Amino acid sequence: MRANRPPFRVGLIQMRCSADPDDNLRRASEMLRDAASKGVQVACLPELFLTPYFCQTEDAAVFDLAEPIPGPTTEALAKVAREAKMTVVGSIFERRTAGVYHNTAVVLDVDGSLVGRYRKMHIPDDPLYYEKYYFTPGDLGFKSFETKHARVGTLVCWDQWYPEAARLTALQGSEVLFYPTAIGWHPSEKAEFGEAQASAWETMQRAHAIANGVFVGAINRIGHEGAADGGIEFWGGSFLADPFGRVLARASRDREEILVVECDPRLQEETRRNWPFLRDRRIDAYAPITQRFLDGS
């Protein structure tokens, strides 16, 4: 994290994802260019934006959707980044080799160069979220990337529930943590649990912002996907929180939107001076955190 870095403008791209990858890439590129016209310098797309959320079922044919990195989608996003002079964070279904696939976030800088990649570390296995079938857990560790306008940390969806992931990414100097996401309601549960689920999701990420003194951007998709009498209703609600945990901008539940927010690194400096959580960490006492559970076995 460089001292006295000027404010940078972030764009969160909340979008609907159709069954046509070419259409999704075209619309994502248009939204990124629109964001650049609004002065956005660092933009992030939702998780696996190129396709519908295919993890609702287990289907070996879906592996044909995966692609290498660099590959066609990263090349297309790099072209947009280069033309718009904007850093772009994209979420890709990565084919590493036959039988090894990852859920990967890529960071492309203003010249179109691939600054780096982060492979999703925490892989869920829940009803309609059968990600363990598709994704090998990440093996690159937690990552932070220096770009022209900001030092960017990337995590992906299920990672957002883990304070350890946010902490280890923030400790590498991140000024903003991005969470490209695909999260929604099971329609049959929405009436009873929907408000509490969405609130927990937002609260958890705002807590990461506070605990680490960083900006946090959560970028979700919208729309119903899957079976008409079931599936998932993605709840949108993309937002950006400041290092004090305040939500600076929040998107709707059901519309495609571009959230544009100015992030001032001086606020990070000021917040950490007054809430010096990093200073007061007892790093000498945290060794047991590497154990699964402290039951003596």
Q: For residue 275, with 0-12 CB atoms within 10 Å meaning exposed, 13-18 middle and 19 or more buried, which class applies?
A: middle
| Residue whose C-alpha is closest to residue 119's, from 106, 134, 133, 132 | 106
Cβ–Cβ under 8 Å, residues 55 and 134? yes
DSSP state letters, 30-59: HHHHHHHHTT-SEEEPPTTTTS--GGGS--
Exposure string for 245-269, b = 16+ CB within 10 A, e = fewer: bebbbbbebbebbbbbbebbbebbe
Which residues face 259 on adjacent strands? 12
Catalytic residues: 47, 120, 157
Burial code of 98-112, b = ≥16 C-beta within 10 A, e = fewer? Answer: eeebbbbbbbbbbeb
Cβ-based neighbours of 281, under 8 Å, separated by 6 or more: none
Tokens describing residue 229: 């009498």
Residues 6+ apart with CB under 8 A from 275: 210, 213
Phi, psi dihedrals of residue 104, rounded to the nearest 5°: -125, 135
- The two tokens of residue 11 are 């764009």
